[in-house]
Amino acid sequence: MIISFKNINLNVEHFTEFDSQKKSIIFLHGFTGSVNDWRDVSTNLDKHFNKVAIDLIGHGKTSSPSNIEFYNIESILDQVEAVILNLRVKEAILCGYSMGGRVALSYAVMKPNFVKGLILESSSSGIKKNKEREERKRNDEELADYILNNSIEDFINKWLDQEIFGTIRRFSNEKIKRIKEEKTKNSRIGLANSLKGFGTGIMPYLDKELKRLNIPVLLLSGQLDSKFTKLNVELNKLIPKSKHVSIQSAGHNIHLEESSKFIKAVNKYLKMF
């Protein structure tokens, strides 16, 4: 379904028939992703929850405007809230992967009213040091320029060729081809503006806000993803009601690489609701 908000069309997918009496899991994909990333795993998650996924701004079937203001964190959070209000969700558990995890965490900190839980997969709370943040911002801007000056196919090849995604090379050539084809459905202007408006370098650093989170938080990182495992060990120290689970044999994209282990960890977490 399409939800219109401030001249933006937001694509929202129901993976289950919506029941207003149930709590809702709202899935937020990573950079270059879409609602389709969650379709398979959602069917095996606890049936006592509604399952809803959003194409974030610049991705999937959601609008990809040229105006960069639609991609800043305040605007993105307003867009997520518009979906929650439109669906009349009373209690939400936000499940975000990577960029989607940064959106989910930001939402829980800044707009906590509807959020009852967080599932953060391979995510972070921003970059602490100013020098590192500025360097990442420059890198994101350079990558955005690359997107705009090359084909979407060339960019996706370049993006997935990074070391952090090296663990998906274990997949068959056919599966990797399908992953790439799905990602090339995104728009270049949408991806470029997502980096410029809400890349990790420009995201506000949230660690000082985390102690205010008074909801159960599941932190997931892949055993083979040393960078984000380290980040999530630190997050676990900062978030009062958090639990960190390292998923064996998984890299950065846990729900894609080790879906059964992801489902098991999430279903265990959902039992507390």
pLDDT digits (tens, 9 = 90+) for 218-229: 999 999 999 999
CATH pick for 2-127+204-270 out of 3.50.50.60, 3.40.50.1820, 3.40.50.300, 2.60.40.1120: 3.40.50.1820
Tokens of 137: 């911002």
The CA R_g of the chain, rounded to the nearest whole Å, is 17
Q: Which of 33, 66, 71 is nearest to 184 (CA)?
A: 33
Residue 93 vs residues 15, 60, 169: alpha-carbon distances, Å: 15, 22, 31
Ranges of residues in the chain with a pLDDT under 50 are: none
> What is the C-alpha separation between 49 and 36, in angstroms, rounded?
18
- Decide if 258 contacts 247 (C-beta within 8 A): yes
* Beta bridge pairs of residue 2: 11
> What is the C-alpha separation between 170 and 109, in angstroms, rounded?
37
What are the φ and ψ backbone dihedral angles of 140, each rounded to 5 degrees? -65, -40
Residues 6+ apart with CB under 8 A from 105: 96, 118, 120, 123, 125, 206
pLDDT, residue 272, reads 92
pLDDT, residue 208, reads 84
pLDDT, residue 113, reads 85
pLDDT, residue 253, reads 97
pLDDT, residue 21, reads 87
pLDDT, residue 66, reads 96
pLDDT, residue 223, reads 96
Which residue's entry shows tokens 């991705």?
Answer: 59
Which residue ranges make up each domain of the chain?
Answer: 2-127+204-270
Exposure class string for 207-242: b at 16+ Cβ within 10 A, else e: eebbeebebbbbbbbbbbbeebbebbeebeeebeeb
Tokens of 225: 């993803």
